[in-house]
Structure 1
Amino acid sequence: MNMTSEFIMSAALCLAALFFLAVISTTAYSLPRLNRAEQVHAYQTRADSLIRYYAQATPASDLSRGGYIEIAARLHRNQDMPWVLARLDTLMQKPSGDMFWMYPFITVTYAGRHNLPPAYQQRMREMWRTYHPYRGDTENHWAMYYTALYLITQMYPNEPGERWYNGRSSQETFAEAREYLIEWMNIATTIGQGEYDSPDYFGVFVVPMAQLYAWAEEAEMKQRAAMMLEWILADFAVDNLNGLYTGGHSRTYPKQVKEQWDVGSSAFAWLLWGNTPFRPTGEAAILALSGYQPPEIIHNIGADRATPFVHKERKRTRHRIRFSEMKNAPVYKYSYMRKEYALGSTQGGLLQPIQQHTWDLTWSVDDPRGKHNTFFTIHPYSSPTELGMYFAEHLGPITELVVRSKTTYDSPDKWTGGSPHEQVFQHEDALITLCDVPPGTRFPHFAGFFSKDLSRREEDKSGWIFAQGGEALIAFYPLAKYEWQQDPDGDWRLLSKQLKNGGVVQIAPAADYASFEAFKLAVKALPLKTTTKPKPGVRFTSLRGAQMEFTYDETPRVNGVTVDYENWPLFGGPFMHADKGSRKLELRYGKLRRVLDFNTLTISESVGR
């Protein structure tokens, strides 16, 4: 057998092994309980296989392909150095991507600090003088940007301003980067993240913390990074259902809002818990390369869905610069999670520009690839006022500028985005959404997403629409007349052109009812009163007996008690607790307690009786 044949066979075996890992990890509901030794072994096996995947993604004989993550993986494994050097020769000719160049490039810089030839290390150092990366304008941009600057000036600590693209000395840049990163951590641990719970951007917050954890020489920064990394991973752990990031999101994309598996966060779910099919990303590979080992409690929180639970979170909007009395308005998140489904929401309104996802239902499926296992509604809103609230550009061309990259923003058929005319209230697995759209609004309609993957959908003369997705039974009561339209990909759109609008959502597990008909009868028997004049409102008693009252622009009530948004926790539920402003998070699972205290920069763990 020649070397080429051996390589092909080796690669085939590797890919087969990865496929096997992906298949056995695709399981609905909950993972088998593992002891700590089994958890550590399983995680390390997945981490090693992910690094190996990138190290072997391109044949060593092919010098025309391969990026920085593949280079870092090969450097980590100390293999194929001729290929590594050839690819560096090519990639360093025309750097581009700004902070998205910075984070993989700094990964290669540190991964290769012991085995790259000195001449290459010096050429890489020179890139920080000749290439001027843009800082960006979002929370994730700045986290990546300042982490890379922190690490490169740590490596070259005593160089003058003329040796750097920004004209500032190593000490000046290092101090600025350190100050920003600490301030970002303070904000996130007191009033929450601005780009919160994004399936697409989750990874670019994990990456900088993993890099600091792996390579920061300062003990304090290394500890901060470890704690912040755990904070972010725990936030994902509690919101994931079989690897899918459920509920309201700050940012997502048109395809991914429907096919929820096809996002970057799925790669981390596979790496952390093995509870979803293998979907490699360079961001997850950096976590694998960092040497970080997630604690037992994060494994358990992310993997166990045996018992239903309610979970609350407090986040914030990104920085508002116009059209708002508040720089960072609060975001109130609510989730009801169980093994069959997750229903999660935010309160509505303009919480993020362009890509907001206000609420959704996600139901469990055995294999989520290609599936649209979700249900939600939207008022599609487009306005220079929304964009001007968050971006500094002149209002005249601002919509056109945004549409150049976010092509669906100004489309009446879009499935992503927030609206100042939409308000949402959830209690357990019941939800009310209300819209009061002023005349003259650009897109004066309300839409509901009904997936092609629903196993059934029926209209009842009572006004309820009944459906089923997996083991989730769905009931939706529209507040106004509607029509059906089929989207090109086979999904169905409930379209209502009434300005005063909304709907009532009730979800239930199929196991609770003898039949679909029994579920329908139970829902139709529930007390329900709706109105759209003078403004939309609902009084509804849920299947769990909760009396929900919600009128547009008024604070909702449950069982006669007004919802207390003022004391909404940073995290609140059986697995996590943190008060607003506390800088302290307690993780809970069974008798195990783990506390991340940013006031003292300590992690403590205890086991109760």
Structure 2
Amino acid sequence: FFILTLVVGGLADVRGAEGGARVKSFDELVASVSQPPAPEKISPEEEARLAYCVSEDAIKTRKAEVWEKASRLRPGDSPNGKQSLRVDLARLERNPKDAMAWKNVVLVAPYAGKSAHFTKIMLAYTYGKYHATLSPDVLAALRQQAADYGEFLGNGTENHIGMQRISGGIFGAAFPDLQTSYKISGEKLELLTEEWVPRYAQAVYAASMKEYLSMIYLGVHNEIWLTAREYGPTDRTRRIGQAMLDWIWTDLAVNTHLGQTAPPTTRAKLMLNRNPPMNFPSSHAQWLAWLYWGDLRSHQGHEPLAPAAAALTANMNSKEMLEDNDGFQTAIVPSISPMKPNEIVRNLGAKKVRLPYMLLQSRAHGAFVPAVAANPFLKIKVNDEAEITRNHLRSVYVARDYSLGLGYFRNDEIGGNEQYMHVLPTAITYRSSDLLNSIYVSHPYWYAGMPHGNEGESNKVFGLDCWLGKSPFEQSLHWENTAMYLYNIPKTDPSVAAAEPKDAAKWTDSRLENPLRKVCVYVPASIDEIRQTSWGWLLREGDVYVAIRPLNATKANWETCTNEVQKGYKRLVLDGSLFGIIIEMGDAAEYGSAEEFIAKISETTVDTSRLTASKRIDYVSTRGIPFSLEFNESSWFPKASVKGVGLDFEQWPICESPYVNCRNGVLDVNDGKSGFTVSWQNDTPVYSHYSLSTGSTPRPK
């Protein structure tokens, strides 16, 4: 048996004894999260840099970097317009009469393959932007594809349905007399798609998106709602488009820090077959964040594209922009769009607000997506899970020089394993100029037995290279600067042993019947220092400290990661069947020197006396906060308490923080100075605005 204590430090507020004060109820614990942070000192240079990052000029510069680069590419000759239409739009931004672009629009318009929804939403944006000046051949091609396409009212993933409905509504309104493949008119098609828009948007406001903060699909959702906001056929759809953008942008802003998106994040498969997030845009979510409020590299006169995007040259085929360039393609449409987050959201995204803060969020069960998509041409059997608003639960802490994110996950027998296979459940991010600045903790599980094809490996399966996904044998706990992980790994996985053989499918997992009894802490090899101490190891990057404190370890050793996807990482491999990890965070301003930090960690209280009998760990952090974590055999939610109060996962807030709250379908966003709310009346979003005086004026509830 062993326990691992992992402690990280950066600029935090010093809570002292008050931080460890016990509370009387879970409601009181949650209420403490909404308290505004104390005044914070940052350097004049950093204040000026942040002011630049959120400025109109900076956004204009970043947008121009994207669309001007994309405008020099060639669309290519593929009949699938998924990528080439984005290039067309960039070329048309430079020259609205670009013959190559318009020729490609006609070429790809008929495409009706499996991924045609990507083509349709880009065609809809193109029509909306240029409908008044379209040539007869382009107009005819757009009309014909609108008549032929049979999935405007279809099913699919969350982003698929969004693309289908919004494009269907635009084309239905454009050609109201059209006889569609559904044997209804374009006018009727528009009405049916319009019914979906408020149903879906209000479901998101009530709980969340399913594909929340996705490394891959957040950019697509942004394109969908930019299209609705700018070119939706009705005023209500355009208003809802704005409300959806504000929800997406706010969610990204409150979870973005130091160039990264704090986990949990869903549909993050890039970390299996591409690369980990770098400190420059290397995922769709990162590209959006950089476009709208910059990143650590941003300062006056310096807004570089990500290296792979910068390397694109004139006349390259649109397909080539995807090589090592994930997310650039979904940054093109927002770069030519006049839309951008308001200043409040940008301030939050750039962290031009007081820090630190806590954030608690709930994410809905994905069954709501098909439930609200139903229509006369799509019959959906709605299951009870569609009503679950607390499926994935998020807990995030953001300080000036680091962040920590961790999730709690409901055991779901109906919704499919993909929601666990491709979720990034936890990570630490620290301030650094290095390309890699995140640490991951993982029990390799879902893809542990899958071949990854790396010729440099003697063992061709992922094995310990599987750092993505939430293992059912891990339960965890987080509050402020401390997180705990508890592992209870059996010799034989009962879910694998009892599973019936399945045909190969897109999301087929490769779990091992005998799961790996190893957990890895993946650390960038570029980190400034790794120092062994009496209790384990100190990791340091500048003034940020990470303490790794194994207890009762049967084995602990460092390895260099050799899988191409994990290039630049080392991992601490810990062996055992029943063990834990504790993460605590602070910084030089709070703890002093590295030596003082080491001493403070030595003084913390870790109680493992009930580990063997009760699978329980108790801990009192350096801030004096008491934690208790017990592995729950009957649920994926642990038995856990903070400050003497048990965590009530069935009452987890939809969104609670000092800057963003969402209760009863009302989104409330502020930057400490002013704010806005979005509520709903007659299926239409209603905005109100308010001001805060020195952070003391309560905002509307």
**Does TM-score exceed 0.5, indicating one fold?**
yes
Contact kept? 1:257, 1:416, Cα under 8 Å: no
- Superposition pairs for residues 533-572 of structure 1, below 5 Å? 533-553=612-632, 554-572=638-656
| Contact 1:256-1:263 within 8 A present in 2 as well | no
Assess, with a 3 A threshold, how the Cα gap between structure 1 residues 157 and 89 changes in structure 2: closer, same or farther: closer
Distance in 2 (CA, whole Å) between partners of 1:93 and 1:158 is 19
In 2, the alpha carbon distance for the partners of 1:199 and 1:383 equals 19
Moved more, 482-491 or 235-244: 482-491
Cα distance change of structure 1 residues 208 and 470 upon mapping to structure 2, 3 Å threshold:
farther
Range that drifts further, 520-529 or 80-89:
80-89
Q: After TM superposition, list the pairs within 5 Å mapping 1:30-429 onto structure 2.
A: 32=49, 34=51, 39-58=55-74, 67-79=84-96, 81-88=98-105, 90-92=107-109, 96=113, 97-130=115-148, 135=154, 137-161=156-180, 164=181, 166-252=182-268, 253-254=270-271, 255-259=274-278, 261-275=281-295, 276=297, 277-279=304-306, 281-303=328-350, 304=352, 306-319=354-367, 326-327=385-386, 328=388, 329-348=390-409, 352-366=419-433, 371-382=435-446, 411=463, 413-429=465-481
Q: Using the TM superposition, give the Cα deviation of residue 40 of structure 1 relative to its aligned residue in structure 2, in angstroms.
A: 3.0
Distance 1:532 1:357 in 2: 27
Supply the distance in 1 between the matched residues of 2:204 and 2:125 (Cα, whole angstroms): 25
Given that residues 28 and 364 in structure 1 are in contact (C-alpha distance below 8 angstroms), is that contact kept between their aligned partners in structure 2? no
Q: Is the 8 A contact 1:594 1:606 kept in 2?
A: yes
Pick from 539, 546, 570: which aligns with 1:467? 539
CA distance in 2, matches of 1:30, 1:543: 30
Q: Which residue of 2 aligns with 1:434?
A: 486
Q: 1:504-555: per-residue Cα shift (whole Å, max 9, x none)?
A: 1112223334321221111111111125413532211112211111111143
> Cα distance 1:44–1:518, how it changes in 2: closer, same or farther (>3 A)?
same
Q: Please give the alpha-carbon distance, in whole angstroms, between the structure 1 residues aligned to 2:195 and 2:461.
A: 35
Asked whether the 8 Å contact 1:349–1:421 carries over to 2, the reply is no
Shift of 1:235: 0.7
* C-alpha contact 2:450 2:461 (8 A) present in aligned 1: no
In structure 1, the residue matched to 2:559 is 485
CA distance in 1, matches of 2:64, 2:591: 45
What is the CA-CA distance between 1:237 and the residue it aligns to? 0.6
Assess, with a 3 A threshold, how the Cα gap between structure 1 residues 333 and 470 changes in structure 2: closer, same or farther: farther
How many residues align? The count is 550
What SS is found at the alignment partner of 2:649?
A: coil
Kindly provide the amino acid, as one letter, of the partner of residue 212 in structure 1: A
Give yes or no for contact 1:201–1:264 (8 Å, CA) kept in 2.
yes
Query: SS where residue 572 of structure 2 aligns?
Result: strand
Please state how far the C-alpha of 1:220 moved relative to its aligned partner: 1.1
Alignment partner, residue 497 of structure 2:
none
Question: Given the two structures, how large is their TM-score scaled by the length of structure 1?
Answer: 0.82
RMSD: 3.4
Give secondary structure in 2 for the equivalent of 1:84.
helix
Residues 241 and 364, structure 1, Cα contact 8 Å, conserved in 2: no
The corresponding residue for 2:531 is: 458
**Residues 198-255 of structure 1 deviation map (CA, whole Å, 9 limit, x = unaligned):** 2322111111111000001311111111011011101111111133212211121224
Structure 2: distance between partners of 1:59 and 1:325: 45
Task: Note the alpha carbon deviations across 1:344-371, whole angstroms, 9 max, x for none.
Answer: 11124668142111111011223x6xx2
Gaps of 5+ in 1: 1-26, 385-398
> Which amino acid in structure 2 is aligned with residue 473 of structure 1?
Y
For 2:604, give the aligned amino acid: L
Contact 1:434 1:552 in 2 (8 A): yes
**Alpha-carbon deviation of 1:338?**
1.3
Contact 1:477 1:505 in 2 (8 A): no
SS in 1 for 2:178: coil
Instruction: Give the TM-score taking structure 2 as reference length.
Output: 0.72
When structure 1 is superposed on structure 2, of 350-359 and 141-150 the one drifting more is: 350-359
Judged with a 3 Å threshold, the aligned counterparts in structure 2 of structure 1 residues 94 and 222 are, in CA distance, closer, same or farther, namely closer
CA 1:54–1:437: 2 relative to 1, 3 Å: same
Contact 1:153/1:173, CA 8 A, preserved across alignment: yes
User: Comparing both chains, which one has the higher relative contact order based on Cα–Cα distances under 8 Å and sequence gaps of 6 or more?
Assistant: 2
Task: Out of 108-117 and 83-92, give the one that drifted further.
Answer: 83-92
Distance 1:592 1:225 in 2: 23
Letter in 2 for 1:307: L
Tell me which residue corresponds to 1:390.
none
Please give the alpha-carbon distance, in whole angstroms, between the structure 2 residues aligned to 1:144 and 1:264.
17
- From the superposition, tell whether residues 459 and 537 of structure 1 become closer, same or farther in structure 2 (CA, over 3 Å): farther
Contact 2:223 2:333 in 1 (8 A): yes
- Percent identity of equivalent pairs: 19
**TM-aligned CA deviation for residue 568 of structure 1:** 2.4
Question: Aligned partners of 1:497 and 1:136: how far apart in 2?
Answer: 44
- Secondary structure of the corresponding residue to residue 601 of structure 1: strand
Does the 8 Å CA contact 2:395/2:478 hold for their aligned counterparts?
Answer: yes
CA offsets 1:18-60 (integer angstroms, 9 cap, x no match): xxxxxxxxx9976635499x83343234334433332234499
Q: 1:89 to 1:325 in 2, by over 3 A?
A: closer
